[in-house]
Amino acid sequence: MNICVIGTGYVGLVTGTCFAEFGLHVTCVDNDREKIALLSRGISPIFEPGLEEMIKKNLREGRLIFTTEIDKAIENSLVIFIAVGTPSKKDGSVDMTYIDEVAKSIGENLNGYKVIATKSTVPVGTGERIRKVIQQYSKGKKVSFDIVSNPEFLREGSAIEDFMRPNRVVVGADSEQAIAIMKDLYRPLYLIETPFVITNVETAEMIKYASNAFLATKISFINEIANICERVGADVNVVAKGMGLDQRIGPKFLHAGPGYGGSCFPKDTLAIAKIAEKHGYRFEIVRAVMKVNQRQKELMVAKIKKAVGVLKGKTLGVLGLSFKPNTDDMREAPSITIIQALQREGAKIKAYDPQAMEAAKKIFKNIEYGRDAYEVAKGSDALIIVTEWNQFRNLDLKRLKNIMKTPIFLDLRNIYDPEKMKEMGFKYYGVGR
């Protein structure tokens, strides 16, 4: 089967490459010429473990091609995935420009029956919107098509594994033919007994927002518990463990830290609050979740100030810049708010991230980048772990203590043992313990 994926970002590139790995013929389309030129040479524009190797293999075996020619890609495909960005507008609502542009192109190039499957996270009602735009631009052509919502749940950093072994696949459609084609596409996942949720388009669209809003809620919840733990002398890591052993709660997403970031939770929580508002409902929980998340980042700055004292003239070492480990994605990373606030107070920042420094250079001014954790620690008044990359989990503490100006250690991801750190002679600060 020939399929195409329009939008070759984190989601589109992983989707297209993994479907090629399933044996389908996939055309990945993007209007960013530079990106397509790199990909055609087998170079991934993003860091995602295992992705570049899989791109190279499928290019070599002729199942994957990259192009800017959207018209031919649409003409040659039975299924067209839409995976373009859906960023927030200034008022928090979703910017539908890219979705509308793609729907227009699909309408203009429709040449036979197609399934149009949306992978992008889109407001409820977008399926209908896409249908209308396609109908408007395919005027006069006697061709039929079906609309499907197939939201994506992959996590950056483990995107391939998440695509290949998802917890579930959600397919929203009103046509039996489209559902049968989608099941055929995902046949390798059927074989490993992946649960499928087959529903209507609106429900599928809602499942994605409800899932992300719930996960963001879990994070803000444990962050508030952490803030209370700090005041009452409890340890949030142990509290989370004790909570998570209850199967009704579960252990995942109960890690206290500097607040959530990334390309999804901030924009999707904002979007679902806006969608609710548009339909006359105030989504109170999610509004609180967003407020708590903003405050959490500010509290981290206050924590650093309290530990270090006057920031003016101090040198602070920051470990980890990406919004989470195993990605180079800097979108809405907590490091941005934290570093910029520290700089405003006159602190000098030295930083290291295993993959995100190129992306970070486009965001920050006046940062000195180190080649590793030790170069950043050398001469620093404090060391701050902002993102828990594996290589920061087992640092040579003796060496760090010797090269730092003062042994102040702020562990915003709670990856070190407070007692051990104190024994080693550090002034240690975690979150909620």
Q: Based on CB atoms, which residue is closest to ligand NAD, 29 or 431? A: 29
Q: Which residue is nearest to ligand NAD (CB)?
A: 9
Sites for ligand NAD among residues 29-58 (CB under 6 A): 29-32, 35
Using CB under 6 A, which of 5, 11, 79, 351 touches ligand NAD? Answer: 11
Q: Is 149 in the site for ligand NAD (CB under 6 A)?
A: no
Sites for ligand NAD among residues 249-308 (CB under 6 A): 263-264
Using CB under 6 A, which of 152, 328, 353, 411 touches ligand NAD? Answer: 152
Pick the stretch among 115-123, 186-194, 307-315, 392-400 that binds ligand NAD (CB under 6 A). Answer: 115-123
Residues near ligand NAD (CB under 6 A), total: 28
Give the strands of the sheet with 315-319, arranged side by side: 367-369, 348-352, 315-319, 382-385, 408-411, 427-429
Tell me if residue 229 is catalytic: no
Sites for ligand NAD among residues 59-98 (CB under 6 A): 70, 83-86, 98
Sites for ligand NAD among residues 153-172 (CB under 6 A): 154, 156
> Is residue 350 within a helix (H) or strand (E), and if so which, with residue range?
strand 348-352
Report the alpha-carbon angle 169-152-157, nearest 5.
115
Separation of alpha carbons 328 and 322, rounded Å = 6
Pick the stretch among 6-14, 185-193, 272-280, 352-360 that binds ligand NAD (CB under 6 A). Answer: 6-14
Separation of alpha carbons 239 and 235, rounded Å = 6
Shortest distance (Å) from residue 323 CB to ligand NAD: 10
Q: Is 326 in the site for ligand NAD (CB under 6 A)?
A: no
Q: Based on CB atoms, which residue is closest to ligand NAD, 261 or 370? A: 261
Q: How many CB atoms lie within 10 A of CB 405?
A: 14
Using CB under 6 A, which of 8, 27, 217, 387 touches ligand NAD? Answer: 8
For residue 276, how far is the Cα from the chain centroid? 23
Pick the stretch among 2-10, 58-66, 128-136, 301-309 that binds ligand NAD (CB under 6 A). Answer: 2-10
Task: Round the CA-based radius of gyration of the chain to a whole number and report it.
Answer: 23
Q: Based on CB atoms, which residue is closest to ligand NAD, 49 or 244? A: 49
Q: Is 134 in the site for ligand NAD (CB under 6 A)?
A: no
Within 247-356, where are the H helices? 265-278, 284-308, 334-344
Paired with 429 in beta bridges are: 410
Using CB under 6 A, which of 9, 172, 320, 370 touches ligand NAD? Answer: 9
- Say which residues have a Cβ less than 8 Å from residue 182's Cβ, sequence separation at least 6: 79, 115, 117, 148, 150, 171, 173
Shortest distance (Å) from residue 359 CB to ligand NAD: 12
Q: Is 123 in the site for ligand NAD (CB under 6 A)?
A: no
DSSP 61-106: TTSEEEES-HHHHHHT-SEEEE----PBPTTSSB--HHHHHHHHHH
- Active-site residue (options: 18, 28, 229, 264): 264
- Say which residues have a Cβ less than 8 Å from residue 136's Cβ, sequence separation at least 6: 107
Paired with 61 in beta bridges are: none
Shortest distance (Å) from residue 153 CB to ligand NAD: 6
Q: Is 328 in the site for ligand NAD (CB under 6 A)?
A: no
Q: For 96-246, where are the E strands, in sequence order?
A: 114-118, 145-149, 169-173, 196-199
Give the residues lining the site for ligand NAD (CB under 6 A).
Answer: 6-12, 29-32, 35, 70, 83-86, 98, 101-102, 119-121, 152, 154, 156, 263-264
The residues annotated as belonging to the active site are: 264
